[in-house]
Homo-oligomer: A and B are copies of this chain.
Amino acid sequence: MLDQKFLDYLEKNYGITFNNKKLIERAMTHSSFDNEHKELGIGNYERLEFLGDAVLEINISRYLFEKYPQLPEGKLTRLRSDIVRTDSFAKFAKQIQIDKYLLIGKGEEKQGARQRHTLLEDIFEAFNGALYLDQGNEAVEEFLESVVYPHIDSGEFSEDTDFKTHLQEKLQQSGEVEIDYKVIDEEGPDHDKKFEIELIVNDKILSKGFGYSKKHAEQMAAKQALEEL
């Protein structure tokens, strides 16, 4: 019952092909749909959500631990809880079109469950649980590298990861400066665009940055400049 288009979408955009199709189908299915279609024997996402919750937690924790060696435990914990949050996970779920393809019963559909953030969060977790069982943690790492980590690197979750602000503060310590970020290249298809940005300070090119969005590329340029200062 899971739309083949979703499987094609995952393959095309993230290089993910599930060996066990029943697993990804279960991850995408709410109990209300399962109850209406008992004859299909799909089950629902709930146990996979239990596992996926922990899968996301360890991967995001390890990423933060390694990426921000300067951050003390308290800031890491705050940052993690800003990422591992209903609204963030719901956003990631939409990013991979879970909202479009998830399976819910008719009553739930009428009540607008398809857009409910807690449901999208649950299924995003279940999706990662299914991927983990199907292909191991490396596949999850790769997936998160393209869907979640760029948002962290872009400084969306905490001022501690906001390199642009850090750089500005640092540069302005010795007086006013003019900081400019300029897109110099943009390539790839819509779903996999890459941007290249030049960071220009007082008319001098200071660094370059690549990223999945303009903001991401700007942050990467600022990060590199900070490392070189």
Contact = CB atoms under 8 A, between A and B. Distances in A.
A65 interface: yes
Nearest to A47: B73
A156 interface: no
A137 B136 CA distance: 12
Interface pairs A-B: 6 shortest CB-CB: A46-B73, A54-B61, A58-B58, A54-B58, A54-B57, A50-B73
Contacts of A80: 50
A47 B71 CA distance: 9
Query: Copies per complex?
Result: 2
A147 interface: no
A47 B72 contact: yes
A61 B65 contact: no
Interface of A: 46-47, 49-51, 53-55, 57-58, 60-62, 65, 72-74, 76-77, 80, 137
B47 A76 contact: yes
Nearest to A51: B65
A4 to B, nearest CB: 27
A131 to B, nearest CB: 14
Contacts of A74: 46
A138 to B, nearest CB: 11
Contact of A50 (B50, B51, B76, B137): B76
